[in-house]
Chain A
Amino acid sequence: MLLYSTLVSAYFGILVRRDRRDQFRLAALIWSAMVGGTLILSFLMYPFPG
């Protein structure tokens, strides 16, 4: 998940932004959303039986 998020966020950061600093910031935002969102969702699903 971490590796996948890193690749995808780097791709979109570079694709959407031109300035190096903006690219990094967008990539960090996307990465945080992907990893954080997954962790939050998995935590919310924890009480439900598999």
Chain B
Amino acid sequence: MASGAAQENGESLAGTDLVRVTVALAAGFMFPGLGHVVVKRARRGLTFAALILACFGLGLVHDGRLALRDGQQPFLSTLQVVANVGVGAPDVVARWLVYGRPVYSLQGEPSLGAFDERNDILRARARSAVSLYGTAYLWTAGLMNLLLLFEVWDIGVGRRD
């Protein structure tokens, strides 16, 4: 606890196993809750994994949009992709199931009506009456997982129990 308090006051991270923390962060990003398992908080990690995956699963069954980067709205569509990608491997699997492969951007020229089939899939999901709810679930799952990485870091460097 004493070292944790010291680090909280901005002192050095000496004594912190940065390799383990980095691995934990990478694991946490790859799969919700896995970072907590690496820093020996398995039970907590499983709880968060259950919550985040439930949120993600609800997003998929509600036809949530798995965002694709759109050159016409690069900033907003990139933020959407980041929110989706935050959930890690489940997002890759979901894109594989929905688009046939993990894709993250639209291709083609919209003014020529030449967007490829992924645009049709995206629009078809967006037409669902519950798609907005699903999209909110998907974004929330991704952002919750990204937020969880901060806690993994805090635990890893001894700022939190």
Contact = CB atoms under 8 A, between A and B. Distances in A.
A3 interface: yes
Nearest to B147: A15
B54 interface: yes
A11 B55 CA distance: 10
Chain B interface category by residue count: 10 to 19
A14 B54 contact: no
Interface stretch (B43-51, B105-113, B118-126): B43-51
Given A4-B136, A14-B48, 15 more contacts: A3-B58, A4-B58, A4-B133, A4-B140, A7-B54, A7-B55, A7-B58, A10-B51, A11-B51, A11-B144, A14-B44, A14-B47, A14-B51, A15-B48, A15-B151
Interface of A: 3-4, 7-8, 10-11, 14-15, 18
Interface of B: 44, 47-48, 51-52, 54-55, 58, 133, 136-137, 140, 144, 147-148, 151, 161
